[in-house]
Structure 1
Amino acid sequence: MLIDSHVNLHAPQFDDDREAVIARARTAGVGLMVNICDRVSNFAAVRAIADEPDIWCTVGCHPHEAKEDPDLPPGRLIELAADPRVVGIGECGLDFHYDLSPRDVQAKVFRAHVAAARESGLPLVVHSREADEVMGEILEAEFARGPFRLLMHCYTSGAELARRCAAMGAWFSVSGIATFKAAEDVRAVIEAMPADRIIVETDCPYLAPIPHRGRRNEPAYLPHVLAKLAEVRGWSLDEAERRTEDAFFALFDRIPRP
């Protein structure tokens, strides 16, 4: 089974043809998708798409949106995560590239998500961009307070942060960026990731893989990501599919394995 661990099917880019996009994903062999929450105020729209039997969802607040709810309590996330279709906490984290929310607010809201993941037992879906040192410090400090499971989504950060996260048992997801010609540094990190903790994603509608780069991304393009992962790791396509499926269900264990 192909599994797209990170989709944004509620995004307005899909408003005109959402059902067709989902149908194309299924035709391409994508048997399961996780629709990722970008902010708590949008959770109802995110959750509505997870009414499909092969689509699940998360609850959380992207660092871009942290300013919307700077005092977000862990309890609110835990309350929404009681919904059986919710399988993770996030997307959350730090984005120091765009700084669309103040950095101190990003960190505060991120820590609230960590607390919710720790208490709920659900995996934390982490976004990190140009924040390697602060991200590592926060994760290690929080992990010392009590363990939690984490996924470094669409991993494009450095090898040192990857090492620090792997020491905490993190999973890593590979996106279409791995196919980009200039992404040699990303592929070098992928080559060193723990083999049993790698999954794949599209992050659609963003980051379409080659040969679709520059277009709106969609889950049907996931086979290109899997093929590049297999190439980088020296796996056959069947092995890459099996390994990423095993890793996915080990992480998102609220989802019953078919």
Structure 2
Amino acid sequence: MSKKRREIPVFGHPIIETHCHLDYLRERPLEETLEQTQQVNIEKVITIAVSPDNLARVRELSQIAAWVYGTQGIHPHDAESYSDEVEAEIRAHAGDEKIVAIGEIGLDYFYDNADREVQRQVFRRQLQIACDTDRPVVIHSREADEDTIAILSEFEASLKRRGVIHSFTSGPGLARYALDQGWCLGFNGITTFNKAENVRDIVRMAPLDQILLETDSPFLTPVPYRGKENAPFYLPFVAEKIAEVKHLPLDDVITRTYKNSLQTFFPGQ
């Protein structure tokens, strides 16, 4: 007989989903997903742009509810689709009321879906947009620690607001650099995976006031729901795991990461 999965915990204090892809969800109607998300006391959701094809869709999704927000940016996988026209679209909407960051941008040398030099050029161009529009940045970095550090170093003085290196799976060198420079690190369901001790080591290292919670749904579903499509309403399991790994009261993790999310994406709230 199979074990019954735990019910999703509901916390007394709200939490914020800082990284998901609502337009990629397929398992259930979006309205149902959003309803379940609110039921577990998730106060805000940020859905992330990744390609020229979904920039407009993310803007549409950011209008479906007062508590849903979006970003504008091109993922390194789609760097070869970047153009002056795409950049103009990102710039035109970077200041929209419901757009809270430039992203998801960065480098991915694991899949190498785009030429590495093109990735670097596109990363720089989008960091410049963040500088020019005073927006925080959502960064993807995989197997590219040295180049990520080198490129971010070029923008240390001009990038007034930092942001997050999301779904952090990189090494301690990038983690130390990012933390020293005032970036947050985003952690998701990977923290619950049996073989992810390297990620939990970074969780232990990172100060609580520089940690953000995310799901990256529909990917990376946390234990105990691995095998099912991920969704924002599984975020409480990530908070629980971070509290366990850092040996901190769960309430401390929830309230501090909530503040971190506001400071990063919603200053003044």
TM range (shorter): over 0.9
**Alignment deviations for residues 43-78 of structure 1 (CA, whole Å, 9 cap, x no partner):** 111111111111000000011111111556755422
The counterpart of 1:38, out of the listed 50, 53, 60, is: 50
Aligned-partner SS, 2:156: helix
Q: CA deviation at 1:219?
A: 0.8
Aligned-partner SS, 1:82: coil
- Structure 1 residue ranges, 4+ long, deviating more than 3 angstroms after superposition: 70-76, 144-148
Q: CA deviation at 1:147?
A: 4.2
**Alignment deviations for residues 230-249 of structure 1 (CA, whole Å, 9 cap, x no partner):** 11112212111101001111
Residues 208 and 253 in structure 2, CA contact (< 8 A), matched pair in contact too: no
Distance 1:250 1:148, change over 3 A: closer
The counterpart of 1:21, out of the listed 33, 37, 48, is: 33
**Alignment deviations for residues 152-192 of structure 1 (CA, whole Å, 9 cap, x no partner):** 10111001110111121111111100000111111011111
Distance 1:83 1:197, change over 3 A: same
Partner of 2:60: 48
Distance 1:71 1:133, change over 3 A: farther
1:136 equivalenced with 2:149 (yes/no): yes
1:187 equivalenced with 2:200 (yes/no): yes
Aligned-partner SS, 2:22: coil
Q: CA deviation at 1:2?
A: 1.3
Residues 175 and 202 in structure 1, CA contact (< 8 A), matched pair in contact too: yes
Residues 130 and 159 in structure 2, CA contact (< 8 A), matched pair in contact too: no
Structure-2 separation of matches of 1:247 and 1:225: 15
Aligned-partner SS, 1:196: helix
| Counterpart residue type for residue 132 of structure 2 | E
Q: CA deviation at 1:13?
A: 2.5
The counterpart of 1:204, out of the listed 201, 210, 217, is: 217
| Counterpart residue type for residue 46 of structure 1 | V
Structure-2 separation of matches of 1:72 and 1:228: 42
Q: Output the TM-score relative to the length of structure 1.
A: 0.94
Structure-2 separation of matches of 1:12 and 1:100: 22
1:101-116 mapped onto 2 (5 Å cutoff): 101-116=114-129
Partner of 2:16: 3
Structure 1 gaps, min length 5: none
Structure-1 separation of matches of 2:199 and 2:181: 20
1:122 equivalenced with 2:111 (yes/no): no
Q: Output the TM-score relative to the length of structure 2.
A: 0.90
Partner of 1:246: 259
The counterpart of 1:176, out of the listed 189, 193, 196, is: 189
RMSD between superposed Cα atoms in Å: 1.6
